[in-house]
Structure 1
């Protein structure tokens, strides 16, 4: 998941602000019911009832109940699962579900503390700064392969290529739950006022290029020191700071990163193509003046934390979680394809959120029953409304998701999603080891470039050295 996702979910922001932080998850102890001497007839009746009601194989003996702890972010788009628990428990009388929560900023630290204290939750996801490969390399994840049985991704309408993201050496370590992608949201009112045609949703439309996007952005930009007058044509939030060069055909990390457990053997921040990519990215702000500065974005973002909602941004390349705020916009909004850039293979970032069973779980079979319930077609459809618009990985349920947003044509959202899958690359924070530390380094070192105090070519050599030193330390 990317660092700004919770902040950009405008429908949830006000509720988030009112919530008090909750302590991190605690592994519920297995509850043993007091022994009772049951008559043979009563035992037989209970067994027959369980069979007829379709109880899942929870793996617990008759009369036992196990508790599965589900650890998540304390925000409405995640804690909605609490509303699903009664239905699940009615269908699985041998399993209880307990939800524990933490604020986004504390998600990883509280999870690590719980694991260190031998108080690990059973089920969670990469909802903090770190991601799959970091969790995997720390030995936090359970290999689910022995417990999958007859589980098939196709039975849950999960695309094979998405399922394979969470496989290592033929073993499965996660089941995909939600599938966010990069989208281009645009302000139809600003396009209409500038007399511009709306951008296409078809990724195969070769007329929709990065240069055309910048051209349209210039037509909508009013670069003024007067906040009331200022507006900008483009906010290019493609991926994390170290992933953005990928769009321009440059790679910050060596290719072996993706086959070496998320551990790059080489860093390329001193390569001309990477430097040029960063010059293009930050040149949108300080050279071409079509993108807002961080100071401007902060001043207009308001309580929702997304400057696009201000109505002063013409286009925003962002994760599809921002679609959940579409009903809060005070202008007409459209969705389009991310334009063709210098890299013909990568135009979108995929943010696939899986569910993991942590290695210390004492009840992996029961935990997997909960996960299978959450990715089932019926529950994935139900979760769209309950969550405020989380995109299901289940492709049958996705049809309901595409039609969820008032004022935006479902066929357009579907076409954008299909193109994003075709030209997408999984978010770096999910695939690179020790990403939380890497991300913090990029944020700190690039701040002077983002604020216009320094040029990329002045900062990148120092960042190169610091990143190599960091990787040399954490990847030993």
Structure 2
């Protein structure tokens, strides 16, 4: 056995000097992030739109309550959000706090090791203290560790144009998800009675815009799954793709058949003409019913017609009737101030600030259920009890949005957008396109999920 040599006093002295030097360097680096008053600055990166940048108005109150913390908001347009975030990370200038407000989602961030495990900093923190339901908190946990704190909780809703319903002498659709009479078939029949199929833009109107989730999630409404079940327990990485299974093909045929067979839903060309590239055709007043994310409620005051909110109807085959869009706040892995970042996050999810945020944002749905009543009463002309019933049903029959749960989703989403364009424009048939998409998707996943 090799004997250990005694360490000389000279080496010990040198080692102590090195330790002191590194300690001084670390302290200097840490002090660079503080100003002369001992304040630290954290950055909050968000989308450059009023429903997100309103947080700037909350900063003075937060800083008054936390004099050791300053908050700086940085922002980017929605379509540039992912690329700007990636650029800042590559430049070693990542924000402290952000969310998956672009195309990429939680599992993409997690698998790329971009977000911090908050568990060590959450001693004494309970979601229930902020009235956050356990199942909502659990969305952003992996192996019992917390990687995100929920902030807002959107769902899928049906908005409908009361004026078009009245004109067609149709009863308003129900808000109760347990109403067995409100089915997909009934919705289609209503849509037919409100559709005016005309090449004259002034005369044309459509009964239904079925915007349920992203393109790869829409078959879920019909009881069909594009991805294998292990996707949800395997870090958002599916082992199988089911795009050519009969039930998936039929689901897509039904979805696009609303446009080109039944002709009760608007074409992409019509939608772009009446609403612009990133607009909502429902706002034009030429759509009878719109299945859409509840963020569209925030535009209720802009509608030039009377609007109602209803349950998404019962599916012919599936149980999932709502896509849930729970937006969390993350602390990025490279943050030098996770404790201060968490103080900002905890401030934003208090009942008082969530209530204030509803007004300032134009109607962001709070994750803190103590603020929910204010949210339900926020939309003039829409029955608060009806909105509450729709949200309750959507939570019961909901499934979290695929873009939050599937790894490398920004690339997957781009593939579906590009490859389904021919079907959406009416130039190609679903059954001809899906096998090619499946092959390309498998190749993509093999490459990015190594």
TM-score range (shorter-chain normalised) is over 0.9
Q: Retained in 1: the 8 A contact 2:183–2:316?
A: no
Q: Could you report, residue by residue, the CA deviation over 1:85-108 in whole angstroms, capped at 9, with x for unpaired residues?
A: 000000011111111111111111
Extract structure 1 runs of 4+ deviating beyond 2 A. 342-345
Q: Which residue of 1 aligns with 2:167?
A: 193
Q: Could you report, residue by residue, the CA deviation over 1:68-122 in whole angstroms, capped at 9, with x for unpaired residues?
A: 1101111111111010000000001111111111111111111111111111110
Structure 1 gaps of 5+ residues are 1-27, 34-62
Q: Retained in 1: the 8 A contact 2:42–2:72?
A: yes
Measure how far apart 1:316 and its partner are: 0.1
Is the counterpart of residue 318 in structure 1 residue 321 in structure 2? Answer: no
Measure how far apart 1:133 and its partner are: 0.2
Measure how far apart 1:475 and its partner are: 0.5
Over aligned residues, Cα RMSD in angstroms?
Answer: 1.3
Question: Partners of 2:317 and 2:442 in 1: how far apart?
Answer: 25
Which structure has the bigger radius of gyration? 2
Question: Partners of 2:119 and 2:319 in 1: how far apart?
Answer: 32
Question: Partners of 2:440 and 2:392 in 1: how far apart?
Answer: 38
Q: 1:126 pairs with 92, 100, 108, which one?
A: 100
Q: Retained in 1: the 8 A contact 2:324–2:401?
A: yes
Q: Which residue of 2 aligns with 1:443?
A: 417
Question: Partners of 2:316 and 2:131 in 1: how far apart?
Answer: 33
Q: Which residue of 2 aligns with 1:349?
A: 323
SS at match of 1:151: coil
Question: Partners of 1:329 and 1:157 in 2: how far apart?
Answer: 32
SS at match of 2:204: coil
Q: 2:361 pairs with 380, 384, 387, which one?
A: 387
Q: Could you report, residue by residue, the CA deviation over 1:159-207 in whole angstroms, capped at 9, with x for unpaired residues?
A: 1111100000000000000011000000000000101000000000010
Q: 1:32 pairs with 30, 35, 48, which one?
A: 35
Number of aligned pairs?
421
Is the counterpart of residue 143 in structure 1 residue 117 in structure 2? Answer: yes
Q: Could you report, residue by residue, the CA deviation over 1:342-383 in whole angstroms, capped at 9, with x for unpaired residues?
A: 344210000000000011001111100000000000000000
Measure how far apart 1:225 and its partner are: 1.0
Q: Which residue of 1 aligns with 2:39?
A: 65
Question: When the two structures are superposed, what TM-score results if normalisation uses the length of structure 1?
Answer: 0.87
Question: Partners of 1:109 and 1:298 in 2: how far apart?
Answer: 25
Measure how far apart 1:29 and its partner are: 5.8
Question: Partners of 1:74 and 1:311 in 2: how far apart?
Answer: 27
Q: Which residue of 2 aligns with 1:375?
A: 349
Structure 2 gaps of 5+ residues are 1-30
Structure 1 residues 103 and 302: CA distance shift in structure 2, 3 A: closer
Is the counterpart of residue 282 in structure 1 residue 256 in structure 2? Answer: yes
Q: Could you report, residue by residue, the CA deviation over 1:378-398 in whole angstroms, capped at 9, with x for unpaired residues?
A: 000000111111111111101
Q: How does 1:29-178 map to 2 (within 5 A)?
A: 30-33=33-36, 63-178=37-152
Q: Retained in 1: the 8 A contact 2:152–2:328?
A: yes
Q: Which residue of 1 aligns with 2:310?
A: 336
Q: 2:194 pairs with 220, 225, 228, which one?
A: 220
Is the counterpart of residue 413 in structure 1 residue 387 in structure 2? Answer: yes
Q: Retained in 2: the 8 A contact 1:403–1:410?
A: yes
Question: Partners of 2:91 and 2:45 in 1: how far apart?
Answer: 15
Q: Which residue of 1 aligns with 2:448?
A: 474
Measure how far apart 1:32 and its partner are: 3.0
Question: Partners of 2:278 and 2:237 in 1: how far apart?
Answer: 35
Question: Partners of 1:31 and 1:145 in 2: how far apart?
Answer: 25
Q: 1:248 pairs with 205, 216, 222, which one?
A: 222
Q: Which residue of 1 aligns with 2:375?
A: 401
Question: Partners of 1:292 and 1:181 in 2: how far apart?
Answer: 23
Question: Partners of 1:324 and 1:74 in 2: how far apart?
Answer: 16
Q: Which residue of 2 aligns with 1:210?
A: 184
Q: How does 1:294-309 map to 2 (within 5 A)?
A: 294-302=268-276, 305-309=279-283
Q: Retained in 1: the 8 A contact 2:127–2:133?
A: yes
Question: Partners of 2:190 and 2:50 in 1: how far apart?
Answer: 36
Q: Could you report, residue by residue, the CA deviation over 1:292-337 in whole angstroms, capped at 9, with x for unpaired residues?
A: 1000111111587111011110000000000011111110000000
Q: Retained in 1: the 8 A contact 2:224–2:318?
A: no
Q: Which residue of 2 aligns with 1:11?
A: none
Structure 1 residues 29 and 276: CA distance shift in structure 2, 3 A: farther
